[in-house]
Amino acid sequence: MTKFEGRNYCVVTYGCQMNVHESEKIRGVLTSLGMLETDNVNKAMVIVFNTCCVREGAEDRAYNNLIALQNIKKENPDTIIVVCGCMTQQKNGKYNIFERLPFVDIVIGTYNINELGDYLLRYAKKKQRIIEILDKPRGDMDVENAVRDDKINAYVNIIYGCNKFCTYCIVPYVRGREQSRKPQDIYKEVKDLVQNQGYKYITLLGQNVNSYGKDLDEKITFSQLLTSLCRIEGDFKIKFMTSHPMDLGDDLIKVMKDEPKVAKTLHLPVQSGSNAMLKQMNRHYDIKHYMRIIKRCKRLIPNISLSTDIIVGFPGETEKDFNQTIKLLKRVKYDQIFAFMYSKRSGTPAATFENQVPEAEKKIRVNKLLRLQKIIQQEKNKKYFKRTYNCLIKQQNGVAIGITDGGKEIYIPGYKYYNQNYFANVRVEGIRNHKLSGVIDE
Ligand code: SF4
Contact 190, 231 (CB under 8 A): no
Dist. CA 356–CA 28, nearest whole Å: 43
Per-residue pLDDT at 43 exceeds 90 = yes
Per-residue pLDDT at 124 exceeds 80 = yes
Q: Return the closest-CA partner of residue 322 out of 332, 314, 333.
A: 314
Q: What is the pLDDT of residue 56?
A: 79
Range from 123-127, 387-391, 413-417, 421-425 that averages highest in pLDDT: 387-391
Arithmetic mean of pLDDT, 413-439: 86
Domain boundaries 385-440, CATH class: mainly beta
Sequence letter at residue 190 = V
Tell me, using a 6 A CB cutoff, whether residue 164 lines ligand 1: yes
- Nearest atom (ligand 1) to Cα of 242: 4
Q: What is the pLDDT of residue 144?
A: 74
Tell me, using a 6 A CB cutoff, whether residue 267 lines ligand 1: no
Domain boundaries 153-383, CATH class: alpha beta
Work out the pLDDT band at 434, boundaries 50, 70, 90: confident
Work out the pLDDT band at 396, boundaries 50, 70, 90: confident
Q: What is the pLDDT of residue 153?
A: 95
What residue spans define the domains of the chain? Answer: 8-132, 153-383, 385-440
Q: What is the pLDDT of residue 95?
A: 62
Task: State the distance from the centre of ligand 1 to the C-alpha of 236, rounded, in angstroms.
Answer: 29
Segment 267-308, tens digit of pLDDT: 999 999 999 999 999 999 999 999 999 999 999 999 999 999
Segment 351-376, tens digit of pLDDT: 999 999 999 999 999 999 999 999 99
Tell me, using a 6 A CB cutoff, whether residue 418 lines ligand 1: no
**If 0-12 CB within 10 Å is exposed, 13-18 middle and 19+ buried, where does residue 394 land?**
middle
Per-residue pLDDT at 1 exceeds 70 = no
Dist. CA 82–CA 59, nearest whole Å: 16
Tell me, using a 6 A CB cutoff, whether residue 349 lines ligand 1: no
Segment 213-272, tens digit of pLDDT: 999 999 899 999 999 999 999 999 999 999 999 999 999 999 999 999 999 999 999 999
Q: What is the pLDDT of residue 94?
A: 58
Tell me, using a 6 A CB cutoff, whether residue 345 lines ligand 1: no
Per-residue pLDDT at 60 exceeds 90 = no
Domain boundaries 8-132, CATH class: alpha beta
- Nearest atom (ligand 1) to Cα of 165: 7
Dist. CA 277–CA 168, nearest whole Å: 11
Query: Which residue has the CA at smallest separation from atom 2 of ligand 1?
Result: 166
Task: State the distance from the centre of ligand 1 to the C-alpha of 165, rounded, in angstroms.
Answer: 6
Q: Return the closest-CA partner of residue 12 out of 1, 22, 23.
A: 23
Q: Return the closest-CA partner of residue 267 out of 244, 290, 249, 234.
A: 244
Share of the chain above pLDDT 90, in %: 77
Kindly report the average pLDDT of the chain as a whole number.
Answer: 93
Least confident of 28-32, 88-92, 341-345, 401-405: 88-92
Higher pLDDT, 142 or 194: 194
Per-residue pLDDT at 115 exceeds 80 = yes
Work out the pLDDT band at 414, boundaries 50, 70, 90: confident
